């Protein structure tokens, strides 16, 4: 390629970048306000697992095998509802 004509470069003005938009509120927020509730739930769960559970399960298994285990249906229902409530609260804490 052959260049026949050349022109001098004229004064090129400096390009000024636009000012960034001013944001008054952060887009992302992190909060640890509910961490105590999560810690309490975790501690409660760990305590229920560690508190002689293996021995209780062996006793329960022996009662079931002997045909002597007759759970109270209303107590079973209450426990199920309490577990569901704890799960719902944990899910609410996770979502926030």
pLDDT in tens, 37-73: 888 888 888 877 776 777 888 899 999 999 999 999 9
What is the SS3 assignment for 59?
helix
pLDDT (0 to 100) of residue 3? 76
* 69 and 63 Cβ atoms separated by less than 8 Å: yes
User: Comparing 23 with 29, which gets the higher pLDDT?
Assistant: 29
* 32 and 81 Cβ atoms separated by less than 8 Å: no
d(CA 73, CA 75): 5
Please report which confidence band the pLDDT of residue 25 belongs to, taking 50, 70 and 90 as the band edges: low
pLDDT (0 to 100) of residue 2? 78
* 92 and 86 Cβ atoms separated by less than 8 Å: no
Element of type H or E holding 78? helix 73-95
Its pTM stands at 0.36
């Amino acid at each position: 390629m052959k260049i026949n004509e050349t022109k001098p470069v004229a004064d090129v003005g400096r390009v000024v970048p636009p000012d960034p938009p001013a944001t008054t509120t952060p887009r992302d927020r992190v909060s640890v306000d509910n961490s105590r509730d999560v810690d309490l739930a975790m501690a409660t769960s760990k305590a229920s697992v560690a508190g002689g559970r293996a021995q209780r399960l062996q006793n329960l298994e022996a009662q079931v095998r002997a045909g002597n285990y007759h759970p109270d249906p209303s107590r079973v229902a209450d426990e199920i509802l309490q577990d569901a409530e704890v799960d719902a609260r944990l899910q609410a804490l996770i979502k926030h």
